Structure 1
Amino acid sequence: MSDLFTDPSPDPSTQLIHHPYVPPAGFETVTTAVHKASTVIFPSVAALRNRDWKHKSGYTYGLHGTPTTFTLEARIATLEGGKYCTLVPSGLAAVTLVDMALLKAGDEVLIPDNAYGPNKAFAQGELAGWAISLQFYDAMNPADLAAKLNARTRLVWLEAPGSITLEFPDLTALVATVRAHNQTPGQAHPLGVITALDNTWGAGLAFNAFTLGVDLSMQALTKYPSGGADVLMGSVVTNNEALHHLIHLCHMRVGFGISGNDAELVLRGLNTMALRYAAQDAATRQLAAWLANQPQIAVVLHPALPGSPGHAEWQRDCTGAACLFSAVFKPDLSQTQIDHFCDSLKLFRLGYSWAGPMSLCVPYDVPAIRTTPWPHQGGLVRFSVGLEAVADLQADLAQALMAMQYSKG
């Protein structure tokens, strides 16, 4: 019988699968090569048995990483100022991975009342069904967090700024509150209460989460790192090896994976991320300041605007701001008129997410998604500023405000 390794089969189906050609080494480009895999080939049984996926010392299976995903993880860790990164299929998957890795029946999680809605919904749904309790706290009041920390608290979520309403909390004070609790007698868990920050808005550029003392920083890479409005991905970063081990093991057990093509798009987006962040930041501040002076608007919420909740904390901790601002309309304008304003916009399109090239807007009913009182009476619209010319976006807002004035309430 012929040996396929010394005397190849004449059958093309076998030749094409077991072809001996290996391209020459030394090919180097600006972009990272895209490796796609479910199966990874081992050179020997010994290699199959000895490779360690837990510490990324080798490749074992597509879900556990490829050269492409390892490269992206290393770059996201550097962006965040951390050491260890785990990639997941979406920002929400990053939230749920943290919850599942750190919480068990009988534990409690504390979430800001102004946090990302799906974070709250997962806790109210799945976590509650797993006998994990939940309390919402006021992110702008560290004393409220202190009062709600208890012996069952295992995880405290932070978000800067708050989703939709963009209050910027005193992260240093909130982290210090958790650390003080961890020093109280009876805190038996070796890792104490963990702080996890949703850092999608800061994106690793506006501030360093680990300098401010958080334990975990997660992002929806869907937003700024991608930048193209065409990828769903999330990340969880930490400096703590024991904490990373818990995240990494849970990641393996739940089977989260990302595609090589999606990793390629995020790697490409990272090259221009700082430029896009700065450009959208500048445009957003200009539009927010202009809209704040329009007679139909009660208040504009943006951390860089004086008077916006948490402006002093943003000024202390941050070097930049993202592409989001929210406008609260005066209470004499009906929701029908506000909806007509949104429908009248030409460049700002109606759609969720943000940090892509196209400007977006979404109206929200804030009291319906809060447990704490909302101080404003008028309807709110959140804007995401894209990469269009600022003058064109301002003209679009102006014509939509004019159209709203002439609409029937």
Structure 2
Amino acid sequence: MDDLKGMAARTRLVHAGRHPHDNHGVVNPPVYHASTILQPSLAVWEASRKPDFPGYRYGRAGTPTSRSFEEAVADLYGAADAVAVSSGLAAIACALMAVLRAGDHLLVSDSAYFPTRKFCDQMLARYGVETTYYDPRLGGRIADLLRPNTRAVFTEAPGSLTFEMQDIPAIAAAAHAHGAVVLTDNTWGTALHFDALGKGVDIVVEAVTKYICGHSDVMMGLIASTAEHAGAVRDMVRLHGNCSGPDDLYLAQRGLRTMGVRLKQNEANGLALATWLEGRPEVSKVLHPGLPSHPDHALWQRDFSGASGLFSFVLRPVPRAALAAFLDGLKLYGMGASWGGFESLILPGDPKALRTATTWDEPGQLLRIHAGLEDVDDLIADLEAGLERLTAAAKAAA
């Protein structure tokens, strides 16, 4: 369907990027496994070398499989263009390098995804870009950190592990007044729950690995850009030789069509678990911006239309043996990196080592949960049994 204007996001999730009657009526876009793409004449070959060529020139530069996915994502974000890359970190790296050059200054939220920090500190620094980390709750006061050579501000809301919200419209207003580009990692909110470009962001990155894919079987990222930056972003992706494989693109498209209903369940389960955990004596704090107790709840309500299934909570201090008793006996929560799939996960984290502009002073263990699609009563019962094991082990160690 070509004209989706005015239709709801969940409707566009189903229809954007699909052109069945271009493919014999087949509902799902076909998978093109392609490296070589032939041109029928010298004139077309010469035209295919030009940047504005509307067709296909080589598998790495795009196929109908990648184009259908990118078209759908661009539609969802209201972006001039979207490009798929090999991972979420690849999206972050290519987006940053598309706008930065040697001698530039970059501002990055202190609560950003840790691999983002590593890329800034270990790769961008090597090429003469200086990074300053800022308090994610700074809002419009970020203007005080802008230097004459500040080229970009990288945001992430909510923050990784600790879930601080950011006043992105205020940050964007200050950055744009200075002539800086605003980027955001929107993996938690997705295009369904946070209208990043509508809130002043210029370039959005998202880990397709997470909610778009939804089945823990794809590594992919995306970059969605305004018209001003779309060309530079796509050029940088091509210069890096970065692309996504056709089978992964197909799986990502399939996940995209059901993301609306899946994310609704992830949100409901996450809020139910977070609310239940708030009432447990073993828990000192729950970090979920959808809870009224969260210090940035009003900001989340203003800018977001929903939540995902990812949040954290902090235990009251217990011996390591008690923590192990809790985690090792869980039946429904796997312990592994990533999130956004159909299955629930739990992972210990330590923000202390990941901060430079802010501090993390909680004495207890932080645990991050991804609420999957299981029955929420079963998920609660599994946590309850785990906390009972934790309490018993803590008493035994006392």
> TM above 0.5, one fold?
yes
SS in 1 for 2:348: strand
- The aligned runs of 1:88-103 (5 Å cut-off) are 88-103=85-100
Which letter maps to 1:216? I
Could you say which residue in structure 2 is the equivalent of 1:264?
A: 250
Which letter maps to 1:299? K
C-alpha separation between the residues in 2 aligned to 1:56 and 1:85? 17
Which letter maps to 2:296? G
Could you say which residue in structure 2 is the equivalent of 1:307?
A: 293
Could you say which residue in structure 1 is the equivalent of 2:205?
A: 218
**TM-superposition CA deviations, 1:30-66 (whole Å, max 9, x none):** 2111111111011112111112563460110001100
Could you say which residue in structure 2 is the equivalent of 1:360?
A: 345
**TM-superposition CA deviations, 1:338-377 (whole Å, max 9, x none):** 2432222110110111110110011011111112112422
C-alpha separation between the residues in 2 aligned to 1:144 and 1:25? 51
C-alpha separation between the residues in 2 aligned to 1:158 and 1:335? 34
Could you say which residue in structure 2 is the equivalent of 1:188?
A: none
**TM-superposition CA deviations, 1:239-294 (whole Å, max 9, x none):** 22x31111111111110011111110011111100000111101110111001100
Could you say which residue in structure 1 is the equivalent of 2:151?
A: 154
Could you say which residue in structure 2 is the equivalent of 1:29?
A: 26
C-alpha separation between the residues in 2 aligned to 1:26 and 1:160? 39
Shift in alpha-carbon separation, 1:336–1:25, aligned structure 2, 3 A: closer
User: What is the count of residue pairs matched by the alignment?
Assistant: 374
Shift in alpha-carbon separation, 1:42–1:375, aligned structure 2, 3 A: same
Deviation at 1:132, TM superposition (A): 0.9
C-alpha separation between the residues in 1 aligned to 2:257 and 2:232? 31
Is contact 2:88–2:208 with CA below 8 Å preserved after alignment?
yes
C-alpha separation between the residues in 2 aligned to 1:104 and 1:239? 20
Q: Does 1:279 align with 2:265?
A: yes
Any gaps of 5 or more consecutive residues in structure 1? 1-23, 183-191
TM-score by length of 1: 0.88
Is contact 1:112–1:138 with CA below 8 Å preserved after alignment?
yes
Could you say which residue in structure 2 is the equivalent of 1:349?
A: 334
Shift in alpha-carbon separation, 1:179–1:25, aligned structure 2, 3 A: closer
C-alpha separation between the residues in 2 aligned to 1:401 and 1:266? 36
SS in 2 for 1:356: coil
Shift in alpha-carbon separation, 1:33–1:305, aligned structure 2, 3 A: same
Is contact 2:352–2:361 with CA below 8 Å preserved after alignment?
no
Is contact 1:139–1:145 with CA below 8 Å preserved after alignment?
no
Is contact 2:83–2:234 with CA below 8 Å preserved after alignment?
yes
Could you say which residue in structure 2 is the equivalent of 1:68?
A: 65
Deviation at 1:309, TM superposition (A): 3.0
C-alpha separation between the residues in 2 aligned to 1:97 and 1:374? 30
TM-score by length of 2: 0.91
Higher helix share: 2
Deviation at 1:133, TM superposition (A): 0.5
Which letter maps to 1:123? C
Is contact 2:322–2:389 with CA below 8 Å preserved after alignment?
no
SS in 2 for 1:298: strand
Could you say which residue in structure 2 is the equivalent of 1:250?
A: 236
C-alpha separation between the residues in 2 aligned to 1:152 and 1:323? 38
Could you say which residue in structure 1 is the equivalent of 2:221?
A: 234
Could you say which residue in structure 1 is the equivalent of 2:186?
A: 199
C-alpha separation between the residues in 1 aligned to 2:84 and 2:176? 27
**TM-superposition CA deviations, 1:135-177 (whole Å, max 9, x none):** 0001111255222110111111011100111111111111122
C-alpha separation between the residues in 1 aligned to 2:217 and 2:379? 22
C-alpha separation between the residues in 1 aligned to 2:23 and 2:173? 50
Of residues 167, 171, 174, the one that matches 2:171 is: 174
- Name the % identity: 39
Deviation at 1:312, TM superposition (A): 0.6
Any gaps of 5 or more consecutive residues in structure 2? 1-20
Is contact 1:358–1:385 with CA below 8 Å preserved after alignment?
yes
Which is higher, the Rg of structure 1 or of structure 2?
1
Which letter maps to 1:207? F
SS in 1 for 2:159: coil
SS in 2 for 1:211: helix
Is contact 2:213–2:256 with CA below 8 Å preserved after alignment?
yes
CA-based RMSD = 1.6
C-alpha separation between the residues in 2 aligned to 1:251 and 1:261? 19
Q: Does 1:140 align with 2:133?
A: no
Which letter maps to 1:396? D
Could you say which residue in structure 2 is the equivalent of 1:406?
A: 392
The list of structure 1 runs, each at least 4 consecutive aligned residues, that deviate by more than 4 angstroms after superposition, is: none
Of residues 117, 141, 144, the one that matches 2:114 is: 117
